[in-house]
C-alpha cells in the first residue's frame, strides 16, 4: 500500500520537478533495464570486453562518476551524442499511457519540469508514450546540464538559474536518494519515490 504525502506539505510549491527514469514510470515497466543492457553492450563494444567484464566496468563507472556516460567521457573520451543515441535506442512500447498520472500532473498549480540524466529525445519519447509530455513546461536534460550529471551541485544550480527556480518554492521527485541531497540543501522539498 502506498502512503501519499500530506497535501499541506506542498501548499507553497510553484515549481514541480520530476526525475524521469523509474520516477514518472514504474521500475517494473522494463524501460530502464533496456537502457542498462545497452550501456553494458556499449562499454563492451568500445573496449572489446566480454559481457560480464563490460557489466562490471559499467557499474564501476556509474558509481565513480555518477553516470556511465560521465565515466566513459572522463576515462575514454567518448562522443556523448553517440552514446546517448545508442543507449536510448529502445522499445518504448513497454510503457502504457497513464491518464491518471497525466491528470494529476496537469492539475498541479505552477510550472512542471522533467530533470533527467538522460537526453531530451529519450525524455520526450518516454513522456509522449506515457501521454504526459504536454503537461511539462520544459525538460532539463544531461546536455542542458553541460554533461554534468545529477547529483553534481552545479547541475542543480544551472537548472535553478535557467528556470528561475527558488528552492523554497520547489519540490523534487526522484527515485535515487543520492540525487535528493543537493536539492534539499538548496531548500527544495524532496520526495523519494
100 and 128 in a single domain? The answer is yes
Grid coordinates standing for 192?
A: 523519494
Q: Is the pLDDT of residue 1 over 50?
A: no
Would you state the pLDDT for residue 32? Answer: 87
Task: Count up the domains in the chain and report the number.
Answer: 2
| E strands, 12-103, in order | 15-18
Measure CA 158 to chain center: 15
Q: In this structure, what CATH number is given to the domain that contains residue 80?
A: 1.10.150
Give the mean pLDDT of 34-63: 96
Q: How confident is the model at residue 116 (pLDDT cuts 50, 70, 90)?
A: very high
**pLDDT confidence band for 4 (50 / 70 / 90):** low
Tell me, yes or no, whether 60 and 142 share the same domain: no
Structural domain that includes position 52: 31-87
At 3 the pLDDT is 55
Express as a percent the part of the chain with pLDDT over 70.
Answer: 96
Q: Residues 108, 188: one domain?
A: yes
Tell me, what CATH number does 177's domain have?
Answer: 3.40.50.1000
What are the pLDDT digits (tens) for 13-33?
Answer: 999 999 999 999 988 888 989
Domain contains 1: no
In a shared domain, residues 114 and 156: yes
Is residue 49 located within the same domain as residue 73? yes
Query: Count H helices, E strands: the chain?
Result: 8, 5
Amino acid at each position: 500500500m502506498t502512503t501519499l504525502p500530506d497535501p499541506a506539505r506542498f501548499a507553497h510549491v510553484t515549481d514541480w520537478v520530476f526525475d524521469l527514469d523509474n520516477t514518472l514510470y514504474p521500475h517494473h515497466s522494463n524501460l530502464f533495464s533496456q537502457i542498462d543492457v545497452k550501456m553494458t553492450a556499449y562499454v563492451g563494444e568500445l573496449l572489446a570486453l566480454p559481457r560480464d567484464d563490460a557489466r562490471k566496468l559499467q557499474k564501476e563507472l556509474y558509481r565513480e562518476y555518477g553516470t556511465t556516460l560521465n565515466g566513459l567521457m572522463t576515462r575514454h573520451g567518448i562522443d556523448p551524442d553517440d552514446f546517448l543515441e545508442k543507449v536510448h535506442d529502445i522499445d518504448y512500447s513497454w510503457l502504457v499511457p497513464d491518464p491518471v498520472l497525466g491528470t494529476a500532473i496537469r492539475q498541479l498549480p505552477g510550472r512542471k519540469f522533467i530533470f533527467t540524466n538522460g537526453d531530451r529525445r529519450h525524455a520526450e519519447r518516454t513522456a509522449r508514450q506515457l501521454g504526459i509530455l504536454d503537461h511539462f513546461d520544459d525538460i532539463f536534460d544531461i546536455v542542458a546540464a553541460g554533461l554534468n550529471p545529477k547529483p553534481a551541485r552545479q547541475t542543480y544550480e544551472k537548472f535553478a538559474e535557467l528556470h528561475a527556480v527558488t528552492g523554497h518554492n520547489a519540490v523534487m521527485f526522484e527515485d535515487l536518494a543520492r540525487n535528493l541531497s543537493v536539492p534539499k540543501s538548496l531548500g527544495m522539498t524532496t520526495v523519494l519515490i
